[in-house]
Structure formats: structure tokens, C-alpha cells
A and B are shown apart, each in its own frame.
Chain A
Amino acid sequence: MAKIPNNRAWWLVLPVFLLVAFSALVPLMTVVNYSVQDIFGPGQAYYVGTEWFKEVLTNERLQDSLLRQFLFSGAVLMIQIPLGIGIALMMPKSGMKASLVLILLAIPLLIPWNVVGTIWQIFGRGDIGLFGWALNSMGFDYNYTGDTVDAWFTVLLMDVWHWTPLVALLCYSGLRAIPEAFYQAAEIDRASKWAVFRYIQLPRLKNVLIIAVLLRFMDSFMIYTEPFVLTGGGPGSSTTFLSQTLTTMAIGQFDLGRAAAFSLIYFLIVLLISWLFFTAITHADKEK
């Protein structure tokens, strides 16, 4: 009797395949297409090869915003990861208190991004904003629309407020997954609080931390809405990050070819750094 291989199961994969194609591949190919052409209008496109890429890579405005972007993402990670771990460690382990803290932490995560920008825009104002007014009345000369340092400070603070809870929640779930026996063993081994953190909690948080770092890096590297709403990229271009520069280029100046080349480079940077992070962290503990 001949065997009839049953390949119908492949059809079940089709929806996923189509979804990936439409959500990632097709738009990406469009961008690739744009990046090698000069487009003046419908039907007026000329092949220009790698011209746009060369220009983008030497464009000082872009280099500046790339540098700002790295500074910003670096600062975000340096603040939010330790802070998130710290909050998670301090959170109650169970009961009503735990649920309450979880809800409170989740609130910033539920607010739409442009609303976050708006909230802080008002919050930070010296005249009517509680935060700005309080700082000013305490004698600080705080003005986020006029001063570069103040603007950076506010953007960072807003991001920390908005996203640290995510890191904290991830760490919290990681901490809860550690079996009680580990704490008991540490107690019996007379480990100090620090040793418990260093040798039990931290190693066992590694996986969630990889996720937290990657998520926070990618998100912060692509940040757009909040600083745009809060400072509009100013004062000057001091808080103009990459995506805002890109948007200005594509929509404001309708420089489609250059913007496409730029977004491809942008995409590659995110991909490369995420990959670097990932391999660095996962390889760190593999034994030779």
C-alpha cells in the first residue's frame, strides 16, 4: 500500500507567512526601492545607486542626532535598569499590598505616548506646572523650553517615569520565579543581603534582564512622540533624536530617497546593536 504524505498542514502556516510578508517584508522592500532612486513626483524617479547612502553617512545633522540618540539610550539604560531592579526588590511579595503596587506601577504604561508628552509639557511649566513651579520656587532656574540641560533632564525624567515600571514588572516576575529553597539555602549559608542579590537574584534575573535591556534599548532608540510633544526637539536641536530628524526629512522636506536610505541605516543600527547586546549577554556565561 502506497503511503500518501499528508502535507495539508503546510496550509496552516500560510496566514503567518502572509502576515510576516505584509507587515515586514513588503514595506521594507519599498524602502529599499526608494533608497536607490531620486523621486521628484509620481512617475518621476531616477536610479541613483548608493548616492543617498553616501550622503546620509556624511551628513552632519544626522551624525549629531545619532550621537544624541546614543547618549539618550545609554542614559535610559543606565538609569532604568538598576532603578527597575531596585523597585522590584522592594516590592511586597504577595497579598493585597503586592496587587496594589502592581496596579500603581502599571498606570504609566497604560497612558498613550502623546498624552505622556502632554502631561509632562504641562507638568514641567514654570507658571502652571506643578513640577516646574516647585523647582522654580525652590530657587532652581528651571526652564525646559529654553535650557538644553533642563530639556534633557525633563525628557529623561519623563522616560524614566513612563518606562521604568516595565523593567520593574519584568524583574518582579523574574524574582517571583526563584524557588523559596534558594533563599532558605542562602539563609542557612549565612549569606548577606548583598550576596543573596549578587549570587541568587541577579543570575536568575539574567533572562528577564536581557529582555528588559533589549526592549528599553530599541524603544528608546526609536523614541519620537514624547520628546516631540514635550520639546519639539528643542531648544535648538538639542533634543532632536533620530526619528524626529528622519520624519522631518521625509514628511517636512519630502526627501524620500534620502529618508529611505537613512531609515535603512537606522534599522540596521538597531538590529546590529540588539544583536550585539544579545550575543554579549548570552555568551558571557558559556564555559570555554
Chain B
Amino acid sequence: MSLVLENLSHEVDGVDFIRDANLTFEAGSFNVLLGRTLAGKTSLMRLMAGLDKPTRGRLIYNGTDVTGQSVQSRNISMIYQQFINYPNLTVYENIASPLRLAKTPESEIDRRVKETASMLQIEPLLKRHPLELSGGQQQRTAMARALVKDSTLVLFDEPLVNLDYKLREELRAELRHLFRERQCIAVYATTEANEALALGGTTTLLHEGKVVQSGPVMDVYRAPVSTLAAQLFSEPPMNMIRGRVSATEVTFDEYSHHALTQGLAKLTPGDYWFGIRPSHIGLVPTSDDDLEMSMEVELSEISGSETFMHVENSHFEMVLQLMGVHSYHTGAPVKVYLPINKLFVFDSDEQLVHTPTQVSGGAA
């Protein structure tokens, strides 16, 4: 079982919503579409569901062309940002509704509703009405309704956006488990890189209607094909520094010099972009080889257990992701250290030419 998108394009009034998408989704896979607002995530899902008809290209399900087939004739569920339930039906009837439409026998309905409800931990709420529930419970009900009917394709359109972060953590973890044993194709759209990482599976980066990169989540994360992919799949965005490699050394922004160590020696002389993840820059050196820079703190944002420190000097502007709580006043001077072995290198066309060395061994 698979769903193949072949050169799929969608255009409305001359505006490209999706351009030449070529993707394959396997049964039993969990696929995350990652992109900023208006990147085309919803458009792509609507095409996959058959809610919109593509301008060009084909949609092939199990070898059969299903382009332009209506949603009703295919077995699809969709879950939205807004908690969409029938307000006048109980939670039980909400979950049962797709089964009733499919004329499922009563005993079967009862069994499946209860099973799905217990899976999503809303069994005690079955007799209540959606509007009496909290946001998280409402979204669980909507999810139960989507999952009860054994769809072949389940589409999630940023389902956790309207929940607070504690609930998000909880539901995210549950979703991962829920789909492990299912044989359907799950597609999940999000704007947050961290959510994509937490959900795992396959990640597809979308930008302005185009697929930037697609593959197993860690492959995409560890080897982003371009600066764009690196920026999209890093929260906060990956720091990018311009640099020139000569025969003997690398010069960052015509200001900071460093020897060609840690695999940089294989770069042919020329202009490059050097990328480094916010979590890899430190306030203490990791080795003698680190690039040291004097910066000023612009803002330190603390997220409970982590600190995002925005620093700058006349040449560079960077974000650091530090573990623990680090309070600094705006304007405070700090020294930051960039480990050379953690640098991503992109050529002047912004394509990846070098990835940092990975620690080897162990299970993924």
C-alpha cells in the first residue's frame, strides 16, 4: 500500500500553491510535513485528500490513479487545528458518527468506540458533550473520530497548535505510539521543527509550495541539502556565517581567522556558508580548536529548562541554545565558542558540501 504524488501542482489564479511535488508515502508510515505558515502544507494535504483537484500531476494510490476522486469515495480522515466536533452529540456519538455513516453493526460500533476512546484516554467522558470538555479533551475526541474508522490515510493539520505546551507534549507522545501499529498512512503538518523531531518518521520540508527535502527525520536533520533546509529544520534557525576558504585558512566575514582543521582542509578555496546549530555553540570551549568570538548579549530567553541567547557583534549575529537557566542583561559581554567539528558547510549556491562528524555506534 502506498500513495504516490507524481509532479503534483496546484495553481489558483496564477498563484502556485504547490509546485511539482514528487513524494511517496508508505503504509504504516508516519510522515511530517514541516514548513512555515503558508508553505503549502495544508494545500498539499487537501490535494492528497482529494478536496482540491491538482492543476497538473497525478495522485496514485496502490497503483491506481485516484486524481480527482472525491473524498467520500476514499477512506480518509482529517484532523484540524480547530477542535471540530458535533456540539449537539455526546462524545460517544461523535466518535461513532463515521461508523454510523458506514452502516456498521451496533455491537461493532460499541466495541470500536470504546476501544478508540480508551486508547485516547477519554473513556470516562463518553456521555458528555464536546463543549463541556477542555481543549485537549475536545481534540482527543476529534482524533478518536478520525481514528475509529480505520482510514487508509489520516491527515493532521497542525492539530496541537491550539493547546498549551504541556498538553502538546502529552498528545505528541501518544500519537507516536498510536501509529506504531497501524497500517495507515499518517501525514502530520506542523510549523515547528521540534515537533517534527519529536514525532519522528519521515520528514518532508516544504517551502513556498515546493518540496525542499524529504527523507527519514534524522537523515534530513543531520544532512540538510541546502541552507534553506537547514534553516527550516532547526529551531531556533541554524546560524549562518559567510566565510572564505584559502589554501591555508578560513576567514569568517573577512574578520575572524581559523586554520583548516577537522575536515575543512578538503574544501576547495572559495566562498562558503558555514552553518552551526544554536545548541552547538557554547559559553565554554569544548576543545582548543574552537573558534572563539567576543559578542554582546542581545536577549536571553529562558524556557524553563533551556536558555536561548541571542548575541551579536559588528560582524555576526547568533543564537545559542544552552541547557539550564542563564540570565544575562542586554549588552553584557560574553565569549562564545564554535566547535569547528560541528560546522555544516554550504557552497556559494547554498548547497550542502560538508556535514559535521557524527558520533558513531549504538542504535539509532
Residues of A within 8 A of B (CB): 1, 3, 5-6
Contact = CB atoms under 8 A, between A and B. Distances in A.
Contacts of B68: 3, 5-6
Nearest to B64: A1
B116 interface: no
A109 B68 CA distance: 50
Contacts of B65: 1
Interface of B: 65, 67-68, 70
A5 B53 CA distance: 11
6 contacts: A1-B65, A3-B67, A3-B68, A5-B68, A6-B68, A6-B70
B52 to A, nearest CB: 14
A9 to B, nearest CB: 11
A117 B67 CA distance: 63
A143 to B, nearest CB: 59
A6 B73 CA distance: 14
B51 to A, nearest CB: 14
A267 B107 CA distance: 64
A1 B67 CA distance: 10
Contacts of A3: 67-68
Contacts of B67: 3
A-B pairs, top 4 by smallest CB distance, nearest first, are A1-B65, A3-B68, A3-B67, A6-B70
A3 to B, nearest CB: 6
A6 B65 CA distance: 16
A165 to B, nearest CB: 32
A156 B68 CA distance: 60
A12 to B, nearest CB: 15
Contacts of A6: 68, 70
Nearest to A5: B68
Contacts of B70: 6
Nearest to A4: B68
Nearest to A1: B65
A5 B69 CA distance: 10
B279 to A, nearest CB: 39
Nearest to A2: B65
B119 to A, nearest CB: 37
B11 to A, nearest CB: 17
B66 to A, nearest CB: 10
